[in-house]
Amino acid sequence: MRTTAVAVVMAMLCVMMVHADVKPQKDFNLQRFAGKWYRVGLAYDSPGFVPFRSKLKASMGIVTALPNGNVNLTMWELTPAGCVTKMYHYERTTVPGAFTYFSTRSNIVKDITVVETNYNEYAIVLKHKVFNREYTQVALYGRAQRVSNEIIQKYKAFALSRHLSRESILTPPPADNCPPSPTPAGR
């Protein structure tokens, strides 16, 4: 039992050291980061995600900066059941560009770090959690549904540097009509 406890503590220290080298965007500006983003890339090492890789579509989100430095994120994702709206509330930390949020699905706190952004074209975001093992997710966000090949290569290189496998690094096609287009008045 003692050996197991020591092993768990050592594993946690290793996880913290691995992610200690990830720094948020220098001089992160939340007001410039706010607005519409498309998730045009996703790299995820969860075994439960494998069956859904081929079904993934680019999703759209709106980042709303709150006066206290927290963030609300509204995401629209295309699922087999249709276009689904998801709401997230990210709590600011003492480090600009680093946030936490409580996942009701996993019942744990996850860390979110805006690793790199130029604010008007792309952002690379790292999501990390420890839940019976370490999980890492790297997302590529674009202000448009398509980004340059140079940015895609930068995202892929970062995902590989986080020890994600090549097959877990995706750049899904855009979702059709998600969120739904507004219907013209009178129809």
Alpha helices for 55-181 (secondary structure H):
149-161
Residue 16 falls within a domain, yes or no? no
Three-state DSSP class for residue 29: coil
pLDDT at 7: 39
pLDDT at 44: 87
pTM: 0.82
3-class DSSP state for residue 49?
A: helix
Q: Flag whether 43 is in a domain.
A: yes
In the structure encoding, which two tokens stand for residue 9, read together? Answer: 């503590």
Amino acid residing at 94: T
Residue 44 within any structural domain of the chain: yes
Phi-psi region of 97 (alpha: psi -120 to 50; beta: other; left: phi over 0): left
169-170 and 35-44: which strand pairing?
antiparallel
Q: What is the mean pLDDT of residues 69-75?
A: 96
On whether residue 181 sits in a domain, the answer given is no
Q: What is the pLDDT of residues 132-186, one digit of tens each?
A: 567 789 999 999 999 999 999 999 999 999 999 998 999 999 888 888 876 555 4
User: Measured between alpha carbons, how far is 175 from 55 in angstroms, rounded to an integer?
Assistant: 10
Q: Is residue 182 part of a domain?
A: no
Band the pLDDT of 84: cuts 50, 70, 90.
very high
pLDDT digits (tens, 9 = 90+) for 60-70: 999 999 999 99
Phi, psi angles (nearest 5°) of residue 159: -60, -45
Task: Find tokens 């003692």 and name the residue.
Answer: 2
Beta bridge partners of 43: 138, 169
Q: How far apart are CA 170 and CA 158, in angstroms?
A: 13
Averaged confidence pLDDT in the chain = 84
Does 92 fall in a domain? Answer: yes
pLDDT of residue 96: 96
Segment (H or E) for 19: helix 2-20
Instruction: Provide the pLDDT for residue 57.
Output: 87
Give how many domains the chain has, as a whole number.
Answer: 1
Range of the domain at 115: 24-170
CA angle 169, 173, 50 (to 5 degrees): 40
CATH assignment of the domain containing 72: 2.40.128.20
Least confident of 46-50, 120-124, 169-173: 46-50
For residue 13, tell me if it sits in a domain: no
| Residue 177 falls inside a structural domain | no
Give the residue ranges of DSSP H helices in 21-60: 30-33
Distance of CA 63 to the CA centre of its chain: 12
Do residues 142 and 49 make contact, with C-beta atoms less than 8 angstroms apart?
Answer: no
Query: Pick the residue with more confidence: 11 or 35?
Result: 35
Q: What is the CA radius of gyration of the chain?
A: 17
Check residue 54 and give its pLDDT.
79
